[in-house]
């Protein structure tokens, strides 16, 4: 147990990075996923197809490949630079990859949510003169979101754990620190594993509980 204790500062710093990756990517994928789901139900076939193609590609590509693509392809090859500092640059490239990947799942969850909203709701919105964007934004999406809070929670939990793949983009999050520690403290491998697993549990359990509570709290009565 000594290793976990003596290294507590670096472990916490690593988990802090995990948390930042999760929070920023979650926000990004919520926004992008919402836009994608809006495109998916748009009256313009071009937008529908674009969204569908994007979701199919992003959802069926392994996350490791997505992150390698953003760090090596977008970052190194295309020369997209978010910051002169390498660690900051890597962080944003990882956020980009995680967002690109996760937003596909958010889009699919929301699309399922849109399907739970009775068609009469959108008809009533159109009948009072709301346009497509207003109907979606004021009437359909608010109800769709409330219907899919539990699956969005699952997606967030998956994202939290998926941040460990950011190691391929050179981001020093929790799993990177774990590997380093295993190399240094080879006699305490089991303890280190259990310690880091507990760390993820601490991050993920409240997420599940919070989303369960939110879904009951915000449920739309019909």
Partner 1 sequence: MTKVMSATHQRAVPSTDLVVLDKVNKHYGPLHVLKDIDLAVRRGEVVVLIGPSGSGKSTLCRAINRLETIDSGSISVDGTALPTEGRQLARLRAEVGMVFQGFNLFAHKTVLDNVTLAPVKVLKQNRRAAEQRAHELLDRVGIGSQAHKYPAQLSGGQQQRVAIARALAMDPKVILFDEPTSALDPEMVNEVLDVMTALARDGMTMVVVTHEMGFARRAADRVVFMADGQIVEENTPHEFFDNPRSERAQAFLAKILTH
The residues that touch partner 1, with contacts defined as CB under 8 A, are 43, 118, 120-121, 123-131, 134, 138-139, 142-143, 146, 220-222
CA dist 150 and 154 (Å) reads 6
Note whether 93 and 75 are within 8 A (CB). yes
CA distances from 154 to 28, 158, 209 (A): 16, 6, 11
Q: Quote the tokens at residue 127.
A: 């009948």
Min CB(123)–partner 1 separation in Å: 6
Q: Which lies closer to partner 1 via its Cβ, residue 127 or residue 190?
A: 127
Min CB(179)–partner 1 separation in Å: 47
Q: How many CA atoms lie within 13 A of 165 on its CB side?
A: 24
Min CB(142)–partner 1 separation in Å: 5
Min CB(35)–partner 1 separation in Å: 20
Min CB(43)–partner 1 separation in Å: 7
CA distances from 72 to 79, 80, 209 (A): 9, 10, 37
Note whether 109 and 152 are within 8 A (CB). yes
- C-alpha of 217 from chain center: 23
Q: Which lies closer to partner 1 via its Cβ, residue 142 or residue 212?
A: 142
User: Which one-letter DSSP state was computed for residue 75?
Assistant: I
Min CB(149)–partner 1 separation in Å: 13
Q: Which lies closer to partner 1 via its Cβ, residue 133 or residue 186?
A: 133
Q: Which lies closer to partner 1 via its Cβ, residue 143 or residue 188?
A: 143
Q: Which lies closer to partner 1 via its Cβ, residue 205 or residue 220?
A: 220
Of 73, 64, 93, 69, the C-alpha closest to 171 is: 93
CA dihedral 180, 185, 191, 194 (to 10 degrees): 0
Q: Which lies closer to partner 1 via its Cβ, residue 137 or residue 208?
A: 137
């Amino acid at each position: 147990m000594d290793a976990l204790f003596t290294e507590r500062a670096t472990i916490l710093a690593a988990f802090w990075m995990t948390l930042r990756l999760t929070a920023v990517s979650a926000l990004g994928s919520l926004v992008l996923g919402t836009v994608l789901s809006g495109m998916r139900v748009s009256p313009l076939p071009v937008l529908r197809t674009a969204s569908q193609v994007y979701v199919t590609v992003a959802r069926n590509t392994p996350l490791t490949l997505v992150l390698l693509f953003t760090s090596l392809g977008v970052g190194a090859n295309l020369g997209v630079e978010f910051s002169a500092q390498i660690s900051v640059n890597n962080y944003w490239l990882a956020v980009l990859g995680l967002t690109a990947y996760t937003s596909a799942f958010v889009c699919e969850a929301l699309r399922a949510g849109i399907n739970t909203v009775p068609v009469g709701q959108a008809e009533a919105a159109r009948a009072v003169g709301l346009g497509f964007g207003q109907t979606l934004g004021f009437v359909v999406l608010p109800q769709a979101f409330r219907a899919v809070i539990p699956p969005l929670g699952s997606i967030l939990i998956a994202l939290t754990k998926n941040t460990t793949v950011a190691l391929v983009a050179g981001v020093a999050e929790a799993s990177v620190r774990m590997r380093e520690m295993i190399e240094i403290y080879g006699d305490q491998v089991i303890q280190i594993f259990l310690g880091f697993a507990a760390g993820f549990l601490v991050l993920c359990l409240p997420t599940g509980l919070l989303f369960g509570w939110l879904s009951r709290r915000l449920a739309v009565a019909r």
